[in-house]
Amino acid sequence: MSGCGLFLRSAAAARSCRALVAFTASRRPLRTSPPSQAFAKELFLGKIEKKEVFPFPEVSQDELNEINQFVGPVEKFFTEEVDSQKIDREGKIPNETLEKLKSLGLFGMQVPEEYGGLGLSNTMYARLGEIISLDSSIAVTLAAHQAIGLKGIILAGSEEQKARYLPRLASGEHVAAFCLTEPASGSDAASIRTRATLSEDKKHYILNGSKVWITNGGLASVFTVFAKTEVVDSNGSVKDKVTAFIVERDFGGVTSGKPEDKLGIRGSNTCEVHFENTRVPVGNVLGEVGGGFKVAMNILNSGRFSMGSAVAGMLKTLIEMTAEYACTRKQFNRNLSEFGLIQEKFALMAQKAYVMESMAYLTAGMLDQPGFPDCSIEAAMVKVFSSEAAWQCVSEALQVLGGSGYMRDYPYERILRDSRILLIFEGTNEILRMYIALTGLQHAGRILTARVKQLKQGNVTTILETVGQRLRDSLGRAVDLGLTGKLGVVHPSMADSAHKLEQNVHYFSRTVETLLLRFGKTIVEEQLVLKRVANVLINLYGMTAVLSRASRSIRVGLQNHDHEVLLANIFCTEAYHQNLCTLSQLDKHSPENLDELIKKVSQQVLEKRAYVCAHPLDRPS
């Protein structure tokens, strides 16, 4: 990842830009079926909406050829000329490197072509994300600029706002930042204290407040800022609601703190941003006054899926480096690669990379469908799975590398440090698990309201019907949701895995109904329950993604498709048994459920704010 220079030859850069112009002109829509119901939400009802996920999304050969012409120069730049060790050591991306990124068009990947951007589809954005992830500091800088910094203008901006801001943001002349987090407001975005007050002449909002941990905060010229404003409701009452604003540094009163000294992604610029009596024109309200929370959530929900492809790209490079070491390092007169416990680690890394890559590109394909489908749950699941798998796999790679993995002379310890932030930013995994579970349960609750109400009221017909269903389930009835057979969509080599998915989905929906009956609206407070619901759903989506992808690989005759089948079957089997265990823990009287004991331990620790147990050498006085 270290390099020997900072610039591509101008001719190579020009060729890559010409290739990209040709690519954007020839782009075709993904060849997938028209969208139907939201896939993940329907799993809560025991339905697999096959048209959403089978066949696996494809791009045309022409589109693939064109993007590959652009991928080459970008990959060459990152692998040969980006000095990641220097960026990490100095805590800064060199200006020359930033200028080259701009010249390659990487600051405008998803900005529409009419505003000077590349107008990449979500699928092609994910593909480039694999390469950009070769340097985490650069990846975070670019993501903060376009996945969240300017994304609000694309999603909620007026035509005038788009025309004014997007061209210079796409070229990189202006850098964007996303300003939401505050000293007293992290995951609880609604509790922000930054305030925007309408001026007496009603031409400006006067913005005051501070934001923390803002990526690109010291580089940005344009900020998407969220602040409390007074809003008059339809009943005449005045309430504080969050509003989104486009704020220019040139408006005045905008200052940035010193760059933070971080554990990882050290080359990205992270700092505090302060607004003191900043005059923001009313025309710079993004979306509706009081609608800022929705704008923030739409921005964050739309970009999370790309973490899957980025992490997969990083893991593929890490697997190559670690495998080279394992196949040449000798211990006990044998290569490390010959030992079973080392082999297990490589199987794990390959499996995790395959699953997150499959989930990411399946979600990207859904997002590329016409009509702006809601894939917020799917995108959140990709983020949770890929971030946790990254941390696990990098740790396993360091275990293979031994002392070499711990030394700063090699890139491995930097990759470990860079990976830790993935579980925190763009929504902590704890918050996202709550979001995944509650969004799905809310959907199921709307559909099942009448049935749950009848069960609570003791409706005999509904009770008998439910008892009959549970009796048939207990006798191990076959579940057929149409994944296999003559009209099936999963290849026969993975029929057993498909049946496991169908069984899991069926029993998951039964559990969902039971939970709604048992907890009702109070389920929002049952975080340990919700965590398990989310974990099951993430596994179900991963199983679906690998079965769809591997089936497509067999059908079109991709190289090494038998390896994909191995990975898919291993993951589906492991996920199936994990789900069975988790679903059993959700039973009210499950002996495996230790939630009450866990709560008791944590309560005692937090009351004392310390480790409670006496020292093992203590004696009673």
Q: Which residues contact 300 (CB under 8 A, 6 or more apart)?
A: 148, 426, 427
Q: pLDDT value at position 17?
A: 44
Mean residue pLDDT of the chain comes to 91
Question: What are the backbone dihedrals phi and psi of residue 2, each rounded to the nearest 5 degrees, phi first?
Answer: -75, 160
- Cβ–Cβ < 8 Å for 501, 540: yes
CA 582 to chain centre: 23
More confident residue, 30 or 175: 175
Token pair belonging to 370: 């016409």
Q: pLDDT value at position 492?
A: 97
Q: pLDDT value at position 549?
A: 98
Binned at pLDDT 50, 70 and 90, residue 19 comes out as: very low
- Cβ–Cβ < 8 Å for 508, 583: yes
pLDDT over 90 for what percent of the chain? 80
Statement: residue 547 has pLDDT above 70: yes
Q: Which residues contact 235 (CB under 8 A, 6 or more apart)?
A: none
Q: How far is CA 391 from CA 250, 435, 555, in A?
A: 40, 22, 33
Q: pLDDT value at position 217?
A: 98
Angle ∠(283,285,286) on CA atoms, nearest 5: 120
Q: pLDDT value at position 477?
A: 67
Q: pLDDT value at position 468?
A: 63
- Catalytically annotated residues: 426
- Cβ–Cβ < 8 Å for 6, 94: yes
Beta bridge mates, 330:
335
Q: pLDDT value at position 465?
A: 67
- Cβ–Cβ < 8 Å for 28, 21: no
Q: pLDDT value at position 69?
A: 80
| Average confidence (pLDDT) over 262-278 | 98
Instruction: Encode pLDDT of 35-94 as tens digits.
Output: 446 899 999 999 999 999 999 999 988 888 878 888 988 999 999 999 999 999 999 999
Q: Which residues contact 296 (CB under 8 A, 6 or more apart)?
A: 152, 180, 189, 226, 242, 244
The single-letter DSSP state of residue 209 is E
More confident residue, 281 or 21: 281
- The one-letter code for the residue type at 346 is F
Is residue 207 classed as helix, strand or coil in its secondary structure? strand
Beta strands 176-179 and 222-232: pairing type?
parallel
pLDDT over 70 for what percent of the chain? 90
Binned at pLDDT 50, 70 and 90, residue 422 comes out as: very high
Please give the Cα distance from 6 to 10 (Å, whole number).
12
| Average confidence (pLDDT) over 176-196 | 91
Beta bridge mates, 207:
196, 278
Question: What are the backbone dihedrals phi and psi of residue 286, each rounded to the nearest 5 degrees, phi first?
Answer: -95, 115
Statement: residue 376 has pLDDT above 50: yes
Statement: residue 26 has pLDDT above 60: no
Burial of 33 (0-12, 13-18, 19+ CB in 10 A): middle
Q: pLDDT value at position 186?
A: 78
CA Rg value for the chain:
26
Q: Which residues contact 137 (CB under 8 A, 6 or more apart)?
A: 84, 87, 88, 93, 265, 266, 267, 268, 418
Helix segments in 111-247, DSSP class H: 122-132, 136-143, 151-156, 159-171
Tell me the residue length of the chain. Answer: 621
What burial letters (b/e) apply to 251-286, b meaning 16+ CB within 10 Å? bebbebbebbebebbbbbbbbbbbbeebebeeebbb
Please give the Cα distance from 406 to 427 (Å, whole number).
29
Instruction: Encode pLDDT of 465-508 as tens digits.
Output: 665 666 566 556 689 999 999 889 999 999 999 999 999 999 99
Statement: residue 343 has pLDDT above 70: yes
Statement: residue 22 has pLDDT above 50: no
Statement: residue 112 has pLDDT above 80: yes
Lowest-confidence region among 8-12, 151-155, 227-231:
8-12
The single-letter DSSP state of residue 226 is E
Residue with tokens 């973490």: 307
Residue with tokens 């080392």: 342
Q: pLDDT value at position 33?
A: 41
Beta bridge mates, 248:
222
Statement: residue 341 has pLDDT above 50: yes
- Cβ–Cβ < 8 Å for 453, 446: no
Statement: residue 235 has pLDDT above 90: no
Statement: residue 10 has pLDDT above 50: no
Please give the Cα distance from 504 to 366 (Å, whole number).
23
Binned at pLDDT 50, 70 and 90, residue 462 comes out as: low
Beta strands 254-256 and 334-335: pairing type?
unpaired
Q: Which residues contact 594 (CB under 8 A, 6 or more apart)?
A: none
Please give the Cα distance from 551 to 572 (Å, whole number).
14
Statement: residue 20 has pLDDT above 90: no
Token pair belonging to 88: 């990490």
Token pair belonging to 125: 């954005």
| Average confidence (pLDDT) over 423-442 | 95
Statement: residue 24 has pLDDT above 60: no
